[in-house]
Amino acid sequence: MKRLCLALLLPAANLLADTRDQALKLSDVVISANRQVQARNDSSAANTVFTRADIDRLQPTSVTDLLSRVPGVQVAPTGGRGSLPGIFIRGTKAAQSLVLVDGQRIANTTTGDSGLQYLNVDQVERVEVLRGSRSVIYGSDAIGGVIQIFTRRNAEQGLQPRMKLGFGSNQTWERSLGLSGGDEHTRFNLGVSLDETAGINSSHASFPSDGDHDAYRNQSISLNLSHSFSDELEVGFNLLDNRGKSEYDNSYGRYDGVTGQSLGQKPYTDYTVSSASGYVDAKLNDNWQSRLELGHSENRDTKRDTLSDDYSAFNTYRDSVNWQNDLNLDEQNSLIVGGDWYEDRFHGSTTFTENSRWNRAAFVQHRFHSQWFSTELGLRRDQNQQFGGQNSWSGTLTVPVNPDNDLLLSYSEGFRAPTFNDLYYPDTQYSNPNLQPETSKSYELQWRSQLTDSTRLEASLYRTDLSDAIILDAGKPQNVASARINGIEAALKQEVFGWQGNLGLSLIDPRDRDSGHTLARRARRTVNLDLDRQFDQLGLGASWQAISSSYDDEANRNRLGGYALLGLRSSWALNREVSLSLKVDNVLDKSYARAKYSYLGESQNYREEGRVWMVGVTWTPEI
């Protein structure tokens, strides 16, 4: 019955808002898997979806805080707010997973990091996480999975203002304003926010100048505008810009060249992560939907030092074009045909041997659906300026055992092109122009079950084989590593006595096949539990996360201990316009570490925040 209701709802959503604004409010659909609106249960990708309602209920501090709740995803920051995080999807490293904002790649092409720590969660409408390779649809970087962030949207008529103010531990302030509106043809959303915190001292042992707290400041703006000329034609524009300052500790320090005496250092980063795109969405006939997107993204990183003239800039820019056509051939067969082009450019204080490269691709995916089984077969051909041609294949067989249980068996290939630092850094001691792309082969068995009306279980058993993995050999990147990642993950939704529970479990065995060592910063066992209940105007919730031990290095010499964290939250709607919120993270004030650094040859833990609290008020006046 639930599937029937959703099937009836999706066409209505497409009719009311071809820009997908209506679909972005729904928890039972996914867009990222095939770049089209489809029911979550019809997608071949293991996926997790957070809507704006989920974000408001969970009260996450950041996008990375939200991602840590996803089964199979681990987050390893290097300190407090604004610190560089490691994002590991199914045991793959951050650069092996693709991050999108409104369909646009935002990764820094010099390092492969996406700057997720700089994205303000208040400007986010929806987050979708795909676990497993999606290289047929997206090409390079989508080995471990895909994270897509959709900025705030409006799907209703009339003006809807909003204001939020929050204050918490470590002199943290959160401020945001927003206004959305529209009519039956035009919709818009404009939001601005400013977050500031005095932060914490991220390093235990370091130079005296690093003994201060590492402050963080984030200014962000988002804008979405769309206009429907008819039921068949819509155009739109999306913008997200995050910029600010993030202080950090440098355990390597700065020395006098003559005496060798430590001179101290207080480094910080001026950053910008931005994305802009425009699109035309057209229904050419009853069976042909076509969407053309043009995008531009920037990831700018300038490092300075308060105590010296030290300076470095690594700024990357990307222009892109995507054209996708969704074809319904008949009642059982559908086709996705499209092409991608993007060009990456680098400008900075270091002169690289090459400062740009392009990639163009064509892809096709066929889907067959019947009462007895469904199939999905895809092929992509990438042509890269540096590496030439690269083919990616994928296939999925779905068998509905009964109306409430589905089994999915899938195979997918992936690849990742090396970064500009890997290939073009001017000092050949730290670069290698002969590198080849990393490649992967993944196998997966999924079980999706609606056990009861209030119980939903999704489980996956998977294996990923990585070849030509890039590691640093005495500082020089080399294609010498291979890895095997075996894993089991499960997500259970259960309602008990009015409490809505979401349980996530992940067991992985991520190994370097040459040495037999566990891959760095990957815990073998993770458990996440969220419990929430609404009592009229009062909402109560709790989160519990348990992470097993791991190693900070590939040689498995520096151990990171396991830990468990408890968080509590509540909300209270004073009336239809004003609501209050309160949350306390790390209630038991646990001391733990998710990454290490080296100081004078000794391995030290990065500090994490202890018990922290945040109170807030949200005002949504009616006009």
Report mean pLDDT in 10-residue bins for the chain, 623 residues: 43 44 89 94 95 96 95 92 93 94 94 92 97 94 96 86 97 96 92 96 77 92 95 95 92 64 81 97 95 97 90 95 97 96 95 93 97 96 91 96 95 94 88 92 97 94 94 82 94 94 97 91 96 96 97 92 97 96 97 86 87 97 87
CB-CB contact of 364 with 392 (8 Å): no
* DSSP output for 288-303: EEEEEEEEEEEEEEEE
Nearest in space to 11 (alpha carbons), one of 26, 23, 3, 28: 23
CB-CB contact of 87 with 595 (8 Å): no
**Amino acid of residue 547:** I
449: which 2 tokens? Answer: 């079950």
Q: Which helix (DSSP H) or strand (DSSP E) does residue 159 occupy?
A: none
Residues in contact with 536: Cβ distance below 8 Å, sequence separation at least 6, in sequence order: none
| pLDDT value, residue 259 | 65
CB-CB contact of 274 with 219 (8 Å): no
Residues in contact with 311: Cβ distance below 8 Å, sequence separation at least 6, in sequence order: 302, 303, 304, 305, 349
The strand ranges marked E within 417-454 are: 438-452
282: which 2 tokens? Answer: 């057209």
Report residue 569: phi and psi, to 5°.
Answer: -150, 155
| pLDDT value, residue 621 | 94
| pLDDT value, residue 5 | 42
| pLDDT value, residue 16 | 35
CA atoms of 297 and 319, how far apart (whole Å): 7
179: which 2 tokens? Answer: 């206004």
* DSSP output for 256-298: -TTT--B----EEEEEEEEEEEEEEEEEEETTEEEEEEEEEEE
| pLDDT value, residue 158 | 87
Per the structure, the complete domain to which residue 381 belongs is given by 2-619
Q: In the chain, what is the straight-line distance between the N-terminal and C-terminal CA atoms, in Å?
A: 38
For CA atoms 9, 10, 11, 13, give the dihedral sign.
positive
Q: Which helix (DSSP H) or strand (DSSP E) does residue 607 occupy?
A: none
Read off the CATH number of the domain in which 162 is found.
2.40.170.20
DSSP state of 216: E
- Number of domains comprising the chain: 1
CB-CB contact of 444 with 461 (8 Å): yes
| pLDDT value, residue 251 | 67
pTM of the model: 0.94
